[in-house]
Structures are given as structure tokens and as C-alpha cells.
Amino acid sequence: MKRIEIGRFAGFCSGVERTIRMTMEALNKDKNRVYSLGQIIHNPQMVRRLEELGLNVVSDINEIKEGIFIVRSHGLPDNYIRELKKRGLKIIDATCPFVKKVQEKARVLKKQGYELIIVGDSQHPEIKGVLSAVSEKATVISTKDEAELVSGKRVGVVFQTTFPLSWAQDIVAGLLDGCQELKVYNTLCFETLNRQKEAIEMARVVDVMIVVGGKNSANTTNLANITASCGCPTYHIEEARELQSEWFDGVCSVGLTAGASTQSLLIDEVVSNLKQILGDAEVHIFGVDLQK
């Protein structure tokens, strides 16, 4: 019998749930005057749903004149928030507490006089927010090669919350060479770590991995990269209809995980399409001896 294994940690994390709840509460108060700058979470389907309920997603803060502004889960540079407050907008800060922790630890390191290294994707909104928290006085790196070029007497490090653990370990090893004193704050989000660890365990025992979530979602893309790097054929999809039957030729077991902003409805749709493609298949929760 073919098997579909669903990750226990697949789907919404607490930070995303909190952002959606805060957005819904704001929409209940002031249906047509709630704004976000860019996608409030990296899940295009969920963002579309919130837009149907009244959320205005804008690409430029100059499009916002009044009402309620929601700071997305990845945070926002301080100057944007100051400007919106000046215009009289009510600010609801839905920045995930784990992201806040990165900002806070970055400030602490700067205050203590460390040269700050932020490990992550310089183009990601979370990192732009962290840079703004330290007035852009930091260097962003994302590879061991870049880490090996860093030299300094007192160097402090924080990580993007969703950065893969093993890559973070490599980067710290790379930094050791050129830094006399190295202070590292582990700002990786433990929900992401659990998901990544589980994805690796699954990728080692299944024939194919399906990773569900926004293509613009850092944590989902990292999951797909991690499982692919374990040697397991991996497909990153946003919706169930993207599944292709030829991916499963000769396959007996499929692992399914999902990014932190992927709702369970989407996961259920993927499972349902997978069952159709595979024919008779048992659905299990990974690591739990029960059928779903």
C-alpha cells in the first residue's frame, strides 16, 4: 500500500496565526480602511482571502492616507512606522515576537559595541526591518564564503528567524577564523527548526517530498532546498492543482510538509489530489503510528 506522510509541524505557525487574527480583528472594526504594505504573510491565497474581506494591500505607503495600518509578521523599517504615525494612522504591530527578538538582540549587540553581522537574505523584509533597527549599521551575509571574509576584534551575530540551522552552523564556523571575540545570539525560530528537522527526517525515508507554500516564502523555500539537499526529489508547489502525475511514477511513499504560512485547507487539498494520483494510499501523520 502506498503511503502519504504528513508532517506534524506542517502549516501555520503561531506568528502567522497571530498576524491573521490581528488583521481579522482590525477588519471587524473598520472594514474598508485597513492597510498593509506588501503581503502581510507570504501566502498569496490567504492574502487574497483577506483582501476579499476588505484588507488593502499597497506597494507604497503614500497610497495610505487614513485608517488602520497592520505591520506584517516580518516587521517593517522604523522610518515607515514613524511616517504613518505622523499621518495619524492607527498602527497595529503584528510583527512576530521571534522577529522582534532578532531586532532587540541586534540593538543590544550594537549598544555593547560589537560589529554586527546579520545572517540572512538582505532583500527579505525581515532583514530590512532588522537593519533599520540598528540604523543600517550592520553587514548582512548569507554564506560561509562571506563569513570567512569577516575580520574584527568584537563581532556580534544574529540570524534571520527562518535561516536553515546547518547553514547557520557553517557560517559561525566560517566566522571563527577572522574574529577575536564572537558573540552569537541564536535567533532562529524554534517552530521553523522543528519543521526543518522533521522535513529532513521525512526526506530520508520517503521517495518524493512535496513542499507546499508561497514561492516568495523564505521558510517554505528553505524547506524545499533542505529536503532536496538530502537527495530526495522535491517539488515546491503553492496549490494542489500544480501536482503532476509523472512526479509519482514508481513512487511508494510521499512526504508532505508546508511552510509556516500555509493553511490546513491547502494541505488537505494537496492530500486529496495526491490520493487521486496515487490510487489507493494510506495517509499518516509522520512519526505517529496513526492513520489520518
Quick check: is 126 catalytic?
yes
- Residue with smaller CB distance to ligand SF4, 219 or 234: 219
Least distance from ligand SF4 to the Cβ atom of residue 124, Å: 11
# residues contacting ligand SF4 (CB under 6 A): 15
Residue range at the interface with ligand SF4 (CB under 6 A); choices 3-11, 53-61, 91-99, 199-207: 91-99
What is the strand order of the sheet 253-258 is part of? 234-237, 208-212, 253-258, 2-6, 281-285
Mask for 154-173, x = binds ligand SF4 (CB under 6 A): -------xx-----------
* Pairwise CA distance, residues 204 & 74, whole Å: 31
List 126, 191, 198, 238, catalytic entry: 126
* Pairwise CA distance, residues 55 & 75, whole Å: 18
Identify residues 57-86 at the interface with ligand SF4 (CB under 6 A). Answer: 73
* Pairwise CA distance, residues 164 & 261, whole Å: 17
Contacting ligand SF4 (CB under 6 A), which of 20, 37, 99, 199?
99
Contacting ligand SF4 (CB under 6 A), which of 15, 125, 164, 214?
15
* Pairwise CA distance, residues 38 & 248, whole Å: 36
Q: Phi first, then psi: give them for residue 163, nearest 5 degrees.
A: -65, 140
Nine cell digits for residue 15: 506568528
Q: What's the one-letter identity of residue 236?
A: H
* Pairwise CA distance, residues 149 & 145, whole Å: 7
* Pairwise CA distance, residues 120 & 74, whole Å: 13
Least distance from ligand SF4 to the Cβ atom of residue 74, Å: 7
- Residue with smaller CB distance to ligand SF4, 33 or 195: 195
**Would you say 40 and 94 are in contact if contact means Cβ atoms under 8 Å apart?**
yes
The answer to whether residue 192 forms part of the interface with ligand SF4 (CB under 6 A) is yes
Contacting ligand SF4 (CB under 6 A), which of 142, 196, 219, 221?
219
Which residues make up the interface to ligand SF4 (CB under 6 A)? Answer: 13-16, 73, 96, 98-99, 161-162, 189, 191-192, 219, 260
Query: Which residues are catalytic, by number?
Result: 126
